[in-house]
Structure 1
Amino acid sequence: MASGGATGVSTSGPAAAKYWLRTLALVYLLFLLVLPVGLIAWRTFGGGIGPFVTALTSPEAVHAFRVTVVVAAWAVGANTAFGVGASLLLVRHEFPGKRLLAALIELPMAVSPVVVGLALTLVYGRFTPIGGWLESRGIQVIFSIPGMVLATVFVSLPLVVSAVVPVLEELGDEQEQAAQTLGAGSWQTFSRITLPGIRWALGYGVVLCLARALGEYGAVAVVSGRLVGQTQTLTLFVEERFQNFDQPAAFAAATALALLAIVTLLVTKLLRPKGGS
Structure 2
Amino acid sequence: MADSRLIRSRRGPVTYVLRVLVVLYLFLLVAWPVSLVADRAFRATGTHEGGVGPFLERLTDPATVYAFNLTITVAIWAVIANTVFGVGISLLLVRYRFVGRRVLSVLVDLPLSVSPVVVGLALVLAYSSTQGWFGGTLETIGIQVIFSTPGLILATAFVSLPLVVREVVPVLEEIGTDAEQAARSLGANGRQVFRRITLPSIKWAVVYGVVLTSARSLGEFGAVKIVSSGAEFRGETATLFVHNHYQAFDEPAAYAAALVLVLISIIALVVVTYLRPKEERA
Q: TM-score, normalised by structure 2?
A: 0.91
Distance 1:186 1:30 in 2: 50
Which residue number in structure 2 is paired with residue 45 of structure 1? 42
Distance 2:267 2:15 in 1: 30
AA paired with 1:263?
I
Distance 1:110 1:77 in 2: 23
CA positional deviation for 1:186: 1.0
1:56 maps to 2:59: yes
Q: How does 1:121-200 map to 2 (within 5 A)?
A: 121-127=124-130, 128-200=132-204
Distance 1:214 1:111 in 2: 19
CA positional deviation for 1:271: 2.9
Which residue number in structure 2 is paired with residue 247 of structure 1? 251
Which residue number in structure 2 is paired with residue 8 of structure 1? none
Distance 1:179 1:52 in 2: 56
AA paired with 1:80?
T
Question: Residues 226 and 236 of structure 1 are in contact (CA less than 8 Å); yes or no, is this contact kept in structure 2?
Answer: yes
Secondary structure at the residue paired with 2:204?
A: helix
**Alignment counterpart, residue 116 of structure 2, candidates 108, 113, 116:** 113
5+ residue gaps, structure 2: 1-7, 44-49
What RMSD over aligned residues (CA atoms) do the two structures have, in Å?
Answer: 1.6
Secondary structure at the residue paired with 2:147?
A: coil
Secondary structure at the residue paired with 2:235?
A: coil
Distance 1:27 1:214 in 2: 28
Question: Per-residue displacement from partner, 1:105-130 (whole Å, max 9, x unpaired)?
Answer: 11111100000001100111121231
What count of residue pairs does the alignment treat as equivalent?
A: 267
Which residue number in structure 2 is paired with residue 68 of structure 1? 71
For the structure 1 residues 201 and 274, does the alpha-carbon distance in structure 2 shift closer, same or farther, using more than 3 Å as the test?
A: farther
Which residue number in structure 1 is paired with residue 98 of structure 2? 95
Distance 1:25 1:262 in 2: 20
**Alignment counterpart, residue 263 of structure 1, candidates 240, 261, 267:** 267
Question: Residues 55 and 61 of structure 1 are in contact (CA less than 8 Å); yes or no, is this contact kept in structure 2?
Answer: yes
Which residue number in structure 2 is paired with residue 3 of structure 1? none
AA paired with 1:39?
L
AA paired with 2:12?
A
Question: Residues 201 and 271 of structure 1 are in contact (CA less than 8 Å); yes or no, is this contact kept in structure 2?
Answer: no
CA positional deviation for 1:132: 1.2
Which residue number in structure 1 is paired with residue 4 of structure 2? none
Secondary structure at the residue paired with 1:129?
A: coil
Distance 1:153 1:140 in 2: 17
Secondary structure at the residue paired with 1:187?
A: helix
Secondary structure at the residue paired with 2:197?
A: helix
Question: Residues 125 and 133 of structure 2 are in contact (CA less than 8 Å); yes or no, is this contact kept in structure 1?
Answer: no
Distance 1:196 1:12 in 2: 42
For the structure 1 residues 274 and 192, does the alpha-carbon distance in structure 2 shift closer, same or farther, using more than 3 Å as the test?
A: farther
CA positional deviation for 1:13: 8.8
1:16 maps to 2:32: no
5+ residue gaps, structure 1: 1-10
Distance 1:234 1:59 in 2: 12
Distance 1:273 1:92 in 2: 25
Which piece of structure 1 moves more, 132-141 or 189-198? 132-141
CA positional deviation for 1:227: 2.0
Distance 2:200 2:9 in 1: 49
Question: Residues 42 and 55 of structure 2 are in contact (CA less than 8 Å); yes or no, is this contact kept in structure 1?
Answer: yes
Question: Residues 204 and 273 of structure 1 are in contact (CA less than 8 Å); yes or no, is this contact kept in structure 2?
Answer: no
Secondary structure at the residue paired with 1:96?
A: coil
Percent identity, aligned pairs only, is: 56
Distance 1:50 1:34 in 2: 25
Which piece of structure 1 moves more, 66-75 or 222-231? 222-231
Which piece of structure 1 moves more, 75-84 or 119-128? 119-128
Which residue number in structure 2 is paired with residue 36 of structure 1? 33
